[in-house]
A and B are shown apart, each in its own frame.
Chain A
Amino acid sequence: MSIAEDIAMMRADSFVAYVLNGLVQASCLFLLASGLTLIFGVLRILNFAHAALFMLAAYLAAQVITSTGSFWLALVLVPAVMALVGAALERALLRRVYDVPVPYQLLLTFGVILVIKDLIKLTWGTASRTIAEPPALRGATSVLGRDYPLYNLFYIAIIAVVAVGLWVFLHHTQFGKRIQAAAADREMASAMGINVPGIYTAVCAAGTALAALLGVFHGPMMNIHLDVDHQYIVEAFAVVVIGGLGSVPGALVGSLLVGMLDSFGILLIPRFQMAFIYMVMAAVLIVRPQGLFGPREG
């Protein structure tokens, strides 16, 4: 069925298909943006290398799956390894630039992108690769009389679980509250006996692990190649800016909005669907720079 016909008679089943596609897109963006915004909220560094870490995780996952044949092993192993990478990144580099002007922070993380890309190229070459879905999740299922890939439904569900888990962790655990305290007022948290440097390392590790989780889950839905990070990072920025830099609920709302715009944009303004997201991003920055959920600064 063509797009024109879809517009002419927006039937329930095609509408649902658009919504599901939007949700898939939103799920991907949420997992990327939540790690990005968590790191910004606590460390106050906008990590340009976040999507490059996601890409590295996807390559690692492809490697683990081709070597062992197990998707589920990759799902455990890759985020664990990438958490260590994130911790090392914070200890070795980010820690040294907390008090440095923003341009240098951006440049540092940009330098990290270059290093990661060439390390990937050195290890795995320039050929693109793919990840197969786990056998249990192959095939399609019927949604309102339309076939829809089973894996996509699983993907949406699993990321919804991660979102809820993240919310519970941040708001209802001791450690989550410590993180929020360290984010709100570093000196005060430190004076209260909270190990702030430790929390910074842990948050960078956790944010990177979230990106790695996405690297594994998103693998079956994309072609893994060396420019993947460029495509995702600016959309992830759009999400965190719309939601509010540093806000995890903002990342959720922002990713839902951008995901739906991606999906329905083709109906609303077919010609400039890609530009639509950035128009919304610019409009939010102009009207409300701190984003929909961001705390008022200063």
Chain B
Amino acid sequence: MPPARRAALGLFLSAGALALVPLLASPFRLLFVTEILIFSLYALAFNLLFGITGLLSFGHSAYYGVGGYVAALALIHGWTGLPGALILGMGAAALTGLLIGYFCVRLDEIYFAMLTLAFSQMLFAIAWQWTEVTGGSDGILGVPRPPLRLFGATVDLESPAAFYGLVAVVVFGAVLVLWTVVTSPFGEALRAIRENPERAAFIGIPLRRYRLAAFVLSAAFAGLAGALVAPFGRTASPELLFWTKSAEPVLMSLLGGIKVFLGPLVGVVVYLWLRDLISSYLVDYWMLVMGGVVIALVLFFRGGIAGAAQGWWAARLRRVATDGVPRDERLDEGVRPYGGR
């Protein structure tokens, strides 16, 4: 099948699957799927910077949290409806990303990670102490979900199914935009930067500007995920900004596979599903099992789930056609670099 038709088929099938969920799932499961969708957007946005551009941000909770707080403030003070709150949250996160990214993209590796961590903890501390605006350690409670007015009709968003519908549409659209970015020449340039920054600079890619652009885009979509999670959980608390919220997308992306566009999504599903499964058997001790999974992942399974699947598929293709498959030695062996066709 030609790639364009395969992509169209994939789109059609995933949109159909998303539309079927409310018909098949119980209200409780529907909440779970909504959570998966929001977190998938967060992880995919994070991975634009990490897997595609090669920059490990350890402070993405900054943008997730800013998106969440701004959307929550807009809704609770009645500045805008829900779409407006999403746009405000996303815009505020993009602006934050621009300010922070401007300083961060000058650094590499561990220093980049530490600087992003410093900025996100700074925002966490501000949210914790600026009680008049942020509600301090309690956060903002009782975030409303005002009804949505569309073409003269009014959609009540209080029900899990209606809110799921909104999240599904927004996340689907956002993932399409991210996909377009990643497959564009700009996305190719980001991958070139990841593979070899010096060489990328040498062939004329403006390194810092491209890194900053990726940073801002990544922050904006992480902010959109945060703006969705505030009305979803009806709250925005400092927890959104704490460093452990930055560690989650790292974990989920690596679990799923960072070189495959939808890898982080696989990671989110497996992580949340495992959390649910383990905690229903072992009640409180899911972290022990998850910790073991993480350690095993790093020691034996560095391509992640999607990476391993793709490696297996590549090996199969290699057996069919005898031509070699380009290898990427930097992060994981035997996995085709994302986008290498």
Contacts and interface: CB of A to CB of B under 8 A. Distances in A.
Interface residues of A, number: 44
Given A111-B291, A113-B291, A114-B290, A285 B126 contact: no
A102 interface: yes
A211 B115 CA distance: 24
A115 B254 contact: no
B291 A100 contact: no
A115 B125 contact: no
Interface string B196-219: 000000000000000000000000
Contacts of A273: 129
B292 interface: yes
Given A271-B129, A286-B103, A111 B110 contact: no
Contacts of B323: none
Contacts of B121: 234, 278
Interface stretch (B141-149, B150-158, B239-247, B312-320): B239-247
Interface stretch (A6-14, A116-124, A148-156): A116-124
Interface residues of B, number: 46
Given A110-B251, A274-B128, A278-B125, A103 B56 contact: yes
Contacts of A108: 294-295, 298-299
Contact of B254 (A104, A281, A285): A104
Interface in A79-114: 93, 96-97, 100-108, 110-114
Nearest to A117: B287
Interface string B12-35: 000000000000000000000000
A251 to B, nearest CB: 15
A245 B110 contact: yes
A46 interface: yes
Contacts of A119: 288
B93 interface: no
B3 to A, nearest CB: 30
B122 interface: yes
B117 interface: yes
B58 interface: yes
B250 A282 contact: no
A61 to B, nearest CB: 22
Nearest to B242: A230
A237 interface: yes
Interface of B: 50, 56, 58, 103, 106-107, 109-111, 113-115, 117-119, 121-122, 125-126, 128-130, 242-244, 247, 250-251, 254, 284-288, 290-295, 297-299, 302, 330-331
28 contacts: A93-B299, A96-B299, A101-B331, A106-B56, A107-B250, A107-B294, A107-B297, A108-B294, A111-B291, A111-B292, A111-B294, A111-B295, A111-B298, A113-B291, A114-B288, A118-B286, A121-B284, A230-B244, A234-B117, A234-B121, A241-B114, A272-B125, A273-B129, A275-B126, A278-B122, A281-B114, A286-B103, A289-B111
